[in-house]
Amino acid sequence: MNEMTGAERKALIDDIMAKHGAGVETLGTCVRRLRLEVTGFDQETFAAMCGLSTRALYQLESDKGNPTLKTIDGVLRKFGLQMGIVAAQPKRKSTARFVYAKEQASAHAHQVMDSVVTKAATDLAPKRGSKPLSARLSDRKK
C-alpha cells in the first residue's frame, strides 16, 4: 500500500466516491483509481487479493464485460465500500446550456423561416387590378 495517513486515504476515497456519484467517473475508472492510488498494487496482485483473474479485473476497470454484483461488491469491500443506490445527479450545466442554445437557435430559425414565408406569400398575393396568380406564374416561366 502507498504511504498515506488514514485521513488522506479517506479523503481520496471520498473524492473517488463523489466523482462517481456525480457521474464524472465510471465504475471502472473508480476501481482503477482505488487500486492504483490507494493500494499502489499492479493488476495481477490486486486481482489475486480479490479472488479475480487478471482479465476479469482488466474488464472491470475498462468498463467491459459483465461483472456480477458479487464481484463488484467483493472489490469495493476491500476499501470499506459497498454497492448501493444513490440519487441520480442532474445533467451538467454545460449540457443544459447547449440544449438551451440549440432551442434558441431553432426558435430563431423558425422566426426567420416565418418571415420568409410571409414575404413570399405577400409577393405572390394578388394585387388590386393584377392578373390571377396562375397567369403571373406562367409569365415568370417565360
Indicate the domain borders of the chain. 6-77, 93-141
pLDDT per position as a tens digit, 10-41: 999 999 998 988 889 999 999 999 999 999 99
Report the alpha-carbon distance of residue 137 to residue 126 in Å, rounded.
Answer: 11
CATH topology of domain 6-77: 434 Repressor (Amino-terminal Domain) (1.10.260)
Is the distance from CB of 33 to CB of 25 less than 8 angstroms? Answer: yes
**Amino acid letter for position 102:** K
Helices (H) and strands (E) in the chain, counts: 7, 0
pLDDT(63) > 70:
yes
